Amino acid sequence: MSDTATPSVLFVCVHNAGRSQMAAAFLTHLAGDRVQVRSAGSAPADTVNPAVVEAMAEVGIDIAAEAPKVLTVEAVQASDVVITMGCGDTCPVFPGKRYLDWQLPDPAGQGVEAVRPIRDEIEKRIRGLADEIAPVS
């Protein structure tokens, strides 16, 4: 972990328009200020996937104002845990970081019905991660 008491997590996917946005929103929602959360994409889209925004709204999390962000070396260096979701070799790797690769379907081009199970799987994984790195004291 970094020098600070607050662990930091970076979620990365190709477009930063679906999976990484959902993961970041869930972790922010569940862990609050106990974790520093970032998300980025190796080739960011113009907007967050509308079906992803709708699916998250169904569980009470509003990500309508979020925008895809480009992955930077600085974001990786500033993070303790880097969770990739289908960005392959485009994610920079630095020693001393913890890397997890979550194999999840890409919601791009899918309707909200297809996004819901992806959302639910991400929430399950985020709950486990939050319990591990930022337990409620």
Active site residues: 13, 87, 91
CB 90 within 8 A of CB 108: no
- Our CA angle for 91, 11, 51, nearest 5°, is 115
Give the separation between CA 52 and CA 21, rounded to whole angstroms. 8
Given a contact cutoff of 8 angstroms between Cβ atoms, the answer to whether 16 and 40 are in contact is yes
- Residues forming beta bridges with residue 100, ordered by sequence position: 83
Distance CA 45, CA 25 (A): 17
Q: Are 130 and 81 in contact (CB under 8 A)?
A: no
